[in-house]
Amino acid sequence: MLELKPNLRGSLTHQVKATDLATNWRNDVPVLATPILLWLTELACMRAIEGTLSDGQMTVGLSHDTSHLAPTPSGWNIHIGARLEAIENRKLIFSVEGQDGQETILRGKHVRAIVDRERFLAGVEAKAKGPNANKIPTPQNGILTASANNTGAPS
């Protein structure tokens, strides 16, 4: 098993396909969608730490603090790189960057947490079978409360 330590790196190259475009995410521009780009950064981070976790361990995403800096059209290849900057107990802090051959398209940080796989999945199963399973949340206050001009559900 490899040692989990700062400066581990992972990367991937991905060709932008029609299924990766913002037009699939209720947007009208045919460029790489931010949710896909974030997913690819997660994959690059996971590649950076491949072979370093103990049996029964896995990582889950905790946060993204990134900027999607430029659009990338369909058919272009992008390269995503990740570097493990720091380890804080069970938190893994990565720097991430994306390029599309012309310019930097993404830069920022991604944080993952090391968890026990069985315990995590048991918690998911308990939540799925719990009293609030598939219940529509009722916002009480704050930003989840619908305003007078935006009360409908997304279509």
Q: Which of 14, 41, 59, 68 is catalytic?
A: 68
Q: Which of 14, 41, 42, 110 is catalytic?
A: 42
Count of helices and strands (H, E) across the chain: 2, 5
Please confirm, yes or no, whether 72 is among the known catalytic residues: no
Closest CA to 53 of 120, 132, 116, 146: 116
Please confirm, yes or no, whether 42 is among the known catalytic residues: yes
Q: Which of 34, 52, 64, 85 is catalytic?
A: 34
Distances (CA, A) of 38 to 23, 93, 97, 107, 118: 16, 15, 10, 10, 26
9 annotated as a binding-site residue = no
Distances (CA, A) of 22 to 18, 36, 51, 74, 138: 9, 9, 34, 10, 29
Closest CA to 146 of 137, 46, 13, 34: 137
Please confirm, yes or no, whether 34 is among the known catalytic residues: yes
112 annotated as a binding-site residue = yes
Enumerate the known binding-site residues. Answer: 61, 112
Enumerate the known binding-site residues for substrate. Answer: 61, 112
Enumerate the known binding-site residues for CoA. Answer: 61
Residues assigned a catalytic role? 34, 42, 68
